[in-house]
Every structure is written in structure tokens, then in C-alpha cells.
Structure 1
Amino acid sequence: MPGVQVPFSRYVALGDSQTEGVGDGDDLTGLRGWADRLAAHLARHNPGLRYANLAVRGRLAGQVRAEQLAPALALRPDLATVVAGVNDLLRPRFDADEVAGHLDAMFAALTARGTRVATLTFPDVARITPLARPLGHRVTALNHRIRESARRHGVAVAETTRHAVVTDPRLWSADRLHAGPLGHQRIAAAVAHALDLPGSDDSWTHPLSAPATPRPSGLRTCAAELRWAAEFLGPWIARRLHGRSSGDNRTAKRPHLTLLAAERTQET
């Protein structure tokens, strides 16, 4: 719907590595990510849009609340996205009620200020990483609580978990923990659709035009899983054992509300 202006002019994104944009670009050339892509979508329909991204990789839901909520409220957004909880899911000790409580508190504080809030549910991790199958019940439990909290506070939910394309390996980066560029593009489109933004539709739910390459089976599958565990899972566990995080000494990439650069508004 060209010419239709979106009702938002101040967008603030809160979260962890997915919202920061890990998997879409790199730390040398710069990260983009789904929140930047959503901001670009908004800016095409409102060139005066100002955008801040407070997300920092490695943050637990409680840390997102403690570190990002107050700065977000101070920016007086009319739109905010809140996505957190995956880092909690991966920890040995996981309490779905505790994590959901942090999300609920952020939803409540933002909507109480008149902010439109959007979030998303998480996909079945076992379909992305077979070794993560034991975490499936955690994902289900957290998604259920996210939906309940969203209903209470009038938060828009992008239901990514309900569509098979979300676990297509071509949407994920090599570490299988972060979306790749195509995955970030689909997440941005999903959130835009959940918010019923001009120019959005359900095409993000459609399968990719070419069929995916069949997964290897038998010994080849085992070998691939062992390589992934050695390259990505092992270092992640080592950081946890030493009390370190990928987000140590990092700060938000876009802490202030600023206009998007023109080149960033050309595509979602």
C-alpha cells in the first residue's frame, strides 16, 4: 500500500543476539539483523522514523530487563520489540516462569506508557539441531507463557513456531543458534505482519521456492553433529564454565534514537 504512513515514529528494540543482528553481517562490516530490517520497513512508510537498538548478545531475559528496560522507557518509544529467553533456555538451570516473569514485566512497563509492543515465539530447536531435542519441552513451555503474557498486555506476537519454513536450514547460520540473512529477513517480515504494517503479508510463512537439500542420514549425520558440537557447542559450554559470555564488554550498537541511513531503507 504505497503512500500509507505507519503510525510509529520512535522504534526501540530490546533483546539479545538475534535482535542485535548476529548472523546477518559480521562485527567487522557491521551487523544488520531483523530489527534493523523491520526499522527499514517502517522508514519506507515514515521517513521520519527514529530507531534505537539496545540489544546485546549473550543477555539473559533478566539482564535484558535490568539493563535495557529503563533506557528504553527513557526514549519514549511508540513501538518496541522485546525478544529474549533463548539464552535462558540453553542454561542447565531453566525456569520458564522466571523467564516469562521478566518478559511480562517488560511488556507491562512498556504498554503502560502507551507503547505498542511486539514479540515472537521460538521454533522447535530439535528440527534445527538434533542434539537440542531435550530442550524441546522448554521451548514449548516458554512459548505458552509468552502467548499468555502477550494476551494480558495486548502485545502483538509473531508466531514463528507454527510454520515449517522457520526450521529450514537455509534460514540459519552455521552455528544453528542464530538466523542467517534470509532468516533475519523472514523474522522482520513476520513481526511486520503481526503488527499489520502497510506492505506486510503472510508470504514469510511460505516455503522457499527451491526444495531444501535432504539431510544426510546415518554415519554422515553423526559426523556432522560431532563437527557442529566441536566447532560451536564446545566453545559455548567452555564460556559458561568459566563464567564468560559472548556479550562481555559489549554495549548496544544503537543506544540512541536516530534516523536510519537512506541506504538501509531500500530493502527489508
Structure 2
Amino acid sequence: MPSGEYLRYVALGDSQTEGLGDGDDITGLRGWADRLAEQLAAGVPGLQYANLAVRGRLAAQVHAEQLEPALALRPDLATVVAGVNDLLRPRFDADEVGGHLEAMFAALTAQGAHVATVTFPDIARIIPLARPLSPRVAALNHRIRVAARRHGVTVAETSHHPVTTDPRLWSQDRLHASPLGHERIAAAIAHALQLPNSSEAWIHPLSSLAVTPSRWRAGATELRWAAAFLGPWLGRRLRGRSSGDGRTAKRPLLTPVIGADRTMPGRSSAS
């Protein structure tokens, strides 16, 4: 199908695809997948869009919970973005995570969908305390590229452009993109897909930061971040809980895209 003429777009993934960091649970979430759908709909007014992503999901859960519903929607374009939640866990197996991603690539492309995905920036450049995770990010990106080549999947290479780790592209928790970050991710995927009116402008750096914090101030910032975000995250892990417990996809069915579409996140009936 020619670029820009997709009629059914389905997004699979975790919190980034759901849109955390771009809006909130009160006013609704937007996110890069919604932004990409809006760009697609600008060229094809009849576009139908579904977003099956749920925050906190591991790659195995995305595979188990979202692939079959996605196939049932028979998309001609699908995005599959997952794996970051896995590499944050104590036990991380890049081959296992890559296997789940490849299985989704294979099933969707076999049904005729054009699939797109992304590589991930080095998390240590966003969260200095996460420096030991850098080899995991590199290993995951390698497996994404290999699997993508095997199945003709389009890869938006967000891993090696300096702008992707600019703090202004990340929300306060540093785990989710800010609205500007989601805008750049959508632009990166649109450019990789060669959509009309897309360009490589997404890799352009932002204006220079006015002030570089002192080492003492930077250290204090890290401590505040750890108390506000890392501690609660570790607490959920120790209790076997997830931020996605009780939640369902925010947009489980194919529906038209209208303007800047903010969709409320899905919840179970018990929530």
C-alpha cells in the first residue's frame, strides 16, 4: 500500500504507546501513537485507529494480550513498541524479549500489515543512576533490528540521535516522554514510514539550555527524583504490582480520528 494511504492503524505496546506523559488520566492521554494517527488521518480522512497499549506491560504480556485482538482488527499499519519495562526488571533476557517482539512482527506482517517499531535511547543518558542498564538497551536494540530485517518491519532509529535524551523530551519521572517527546517520536515514525509532509526535522536539537546545573545541584536533583519516582516504582515491584493493574486498552476498537484526539485510558469495571 502506498505510504500515507493506510486505512486501519492499530498500536500495540505499553505506557509510551498509551500516551503517559502527554496529558493525564483526568483530561485524557494523547501520546505519539495518537499523534501519528492524526497525521495519517490528515491525508486519509477515513482512517480508523485502535490503541491496544496498556501501561506496565512486559513484552510477553503485549504478545499474549494484544496480538490476537490486533490481528482481529486486520490493520494495514501496526506499530509494536515494547521492551523497556523488561529491561528495567532484575531478570532481563534480551533473546526472550526479542522473541516476543519478533513473533508479533511475524504474525502481523504475515497477515499483510505494514509494521513499524522504534529503537530506544540509552536510558543512562536520561537517568544517570541507570548506567548499569546501558548494555541491556544496546542488546534489545540489536534484537529489534535483526527481527525487523527478517520481517520487513520499518524501524525508526531513535537510539543514537542526541536530541532523544534531551531532558525536555522527557516527563518528570524520566521514564515517559513529555508532550514534546511524544511529538518527536510520532515524527520519527512518520519519517521512517515516508509519510507525506514528514521530514528528518525530528532529529534537530532543541535550543541550548540556559544554565548547566552545578554538580551539587545535579546530585540533589537525582536524590529528589529517586524519592519521588524510583522509590514508588520499586515498591510496586516488591509487592508484585504494576501501574497497569486493573486497566484495559484506551481505544480497543477501530474508530475514526477527529482532530487532536485525547482518549481516556481504559479501566476495568472494578476500577
> Under a length normalisation based on structure 2, what TM-score does the superposition of the two structures give?
0.94
Residue 214 of structure 1 and its aligned partner are, at CA, apart by 4.3
Aligned equivalents of 1:212, 1:93: Cα separation in 2: 37
Indicate the SS of the match to 2:56: coil
Deviations 1:152-193 (A, max 9, x none): 000000000110000000000000000000000000000001
2:244 counterpart residue number: 247
CA apart distance, 1:222: 1.4
| 1:71 CA displacement | 0.1
One-letter identity of the residue aligned with 2:240 = G
Q: Which amino acid in the other structure matches residue 88 of structure 2?
A: L
Which runs of 5 or more residues in structure 1 are unaligned? none
Cα distance in 1 for residues equivalent to 2:159 and 2:252: 29
Q: 161-170 or 212-221, which moves further after superposition? A: 212-221
Pair 1:110 & 2:112 matched = no
Q: Aligned ranges for residues 86-101 of structure 1 at < 5 Å?
A: 86-101=84-99
What is the TM-score normalised by the length of structure 1? 0.95
- Please list every run of at least 4 consecutive aligned residues from structure 1 whose deviation after the TM superposition is greater than 4 angstroms: none
Q: Number of matched residues?
A: 261
In the alignment, which residue of structure 1 is the partner of 2:225? 228
1:207 corresponds to: 205
Q: Name the structure 2 match of 1:23.
A: 21
Tell me the amino acid that sits aligned with residue 234 of structure 1: G
Q: Is the 8 A contact 1:25 1:31 kept in 2?
A: yes
Identity of aligned residues (%): 74
Contact kept in structure 1, 2:3 and 2:194, CA below 8 Å = no
**AA matched with 1:88:** D
Counterpart CA distance in 1 for 2:260 and 2:18 is 19
Aligned residues: CA RMSD: 1.3
Determine the C-alpha separation between the residues in 2 that align with 1:92 and 1:73.
32
> Of 148, 157, 163, which residue of structure 1 is paired with 2:161?
163
Q: Which amino acid aligns with 2:166?
A: D
**Residues 20, 29 of structure 2: 8 Å contact kept:** yes
1:58 to 43, 56, 59: 56
**Could you say if the C-alpha distance between residues 116 and 5 of structure 1 is closer, same or farther in structure 2, counting changes exceeding 3 Å?**
closer
State the alpha-carbon separation in 2 of the partners of residues 240 and 213 from structure 1.
37
Q: Distance in 2 between matches of 1:141 and 1:240?
A: 23
CA distance in 2, matches of 1:5, 1:128: 33
Partner of 1:84: 82
